[in-house]
Amino acid sequence: MRSIQKLLVANRGEIARRIFRTAHEMKIQCVAVFEDEDADALYVLEADTAFKLPQGFLDQDFILDLCAREKIDAIHPGYGFLSENAEFVRRVEEAGVVFIGPSSAAMERMGAKTSARACAKAAGVPLLPGAEIEDGSSLSAMERESLIERIGLPVVLKAAAGGGGKAQAIIDYRADTNLAFDKVLREAERLYKNQALVVERYLVKARHVEVQVLGNSKKENFALFDRDCSAQRNNQKIIEEAPALGLPDNVRQELHSSAVRLANHVGYSNAGTMEYLYDSERQEFYFLEMNTRLQVEHTVTEMVTGLDLVREQILIAEGHETNYANVTCSGHAIEARICAEKSDGTYQPSTGEILQYVEPKGVRVDSGVRAGSHISGKYDNMIAKVVVHAANRADAIVKLEKALQAFFVNGIHTNIPLTLQLLHDEKFRKMLHYTRYLQKEFIPPQNSPEEAAQLAAIIRYQLELHENTERFGDLANFSNTGL
Beta strands in 54-206 (DSSP E): 74-76, 98-99, 130-133, 155-159, 168-171, 197-201
Residues spanned by CATH 3.30.470.20 within the chain?
207-440
Using CA atoms, how far residue 368 sits from 2, 384, 421, 462, in Å, is 30, 6, 25, 21
Q: How confident is the model at residue 481 (pLDDT cuts 50, 70, 90)?
A: very low
Residues spanned by CATH 3.40.50.20 within the chain?
6-100
Q: How confident is the model at residue 461 (pLDDT cuts 50, 70, 90)?
A: low
Q: Where are the alpha helices (DSSP H) in 172-244?
A: 177-192
Q: What is the pLDDT of residues 220-232, one digit of tens each?
A: 999 999 999 999 9
Q: Domain 129-201 sits in which CATH superfamily? A: ATP-grasp fold, A domain (3.30.1490.20)
Active-site positions?
A: 293
Query: H-helix or E-strand containing 237?
Result: strand 236-242
By CB atoms closer than 10 A (0-12, 13-18, 19+), residue 237 is buried
Q: What is the pLDDT of residues 30-59, one digit of tens each?
A: 999 999 999 999 999 999 999 999 999 999
Give the pLDDT confidence score for residue 469 in this predicted structure.
58
Region of residue 371 (phi > 0: left; psi between -120 and 50: alpha; otherwise: beta): beta
Give the pLDDT confidence score for residue 347 in this predicted structure.
92
* Amino acid in the structure at residue 295: Q
Residue 70 has pLDDT above 80, yes or no: yes
Q: What order of strands is seen across the sheet that includes strand 155-159?
A: 130-133, 197-201, 155-159, 168-171
Q: What is the pLDDT of residues 367-423, one digit of tens each?
A: 999 999 999 989 999 999 999 999 999 999 999 999 999 999 999 999 999 999 999
Q: Residue 47 in contact with residue 71, Cβ under 8 Å? A: no
What is the mean predicted confidence (pLDDT) over 253-270? 98
Residues 6+ apart with CB under 8 A from 271: 101, 212, 213, 214, 293, 294, 298, 309, 312, 313
335: which strand partners? 240, 387
Give the pLDDT confidence score for residue 470 in this predicted structure.
57
Q: What is the pLDDT of residues 103-128, one digit of tens each?
A: 999 999 998 888 898 999 999 999 98
Which one-letter DSSP state was computed for residue 301? H
What is the C-alpha R_g of the chain? Answer: 23
Instruction: Please tell me the CATH code under which domain 6-100 is placed.
Output: 3.40.50.20
Region of poorest pLDDT, from 98-102, 165-169, 279-283: 165-169
Residue 27 φ then ψ, to 5°? 65, 35
Give the pLDDT confidence score for residue 69 in this predicted structure.
98
Q: Residue 347 in contact with residue 234, Cβ under 8 Å? A: yes
Helical packing angle, 393-405 and 416-424, nearest 10°: 150
Residue 482 has pLDDT above 80, yes or no: no
What is the mean predicted confidence (pLDDT) over 276-282? 92
Residues spanned by CATH 3.30.1490.20 within the chain?
129-201
Range 207-440 classified under CATH 3.30.470.20: yes
What CA–CA distance (Å, rounded) separates 243 from 305? 10
Give the pLDDT confidence score for residue 446 in this predicted structure.
73
Q: What is the pLDDT of residues 181-191, one digit of tens each?
A: 999 999 999 98
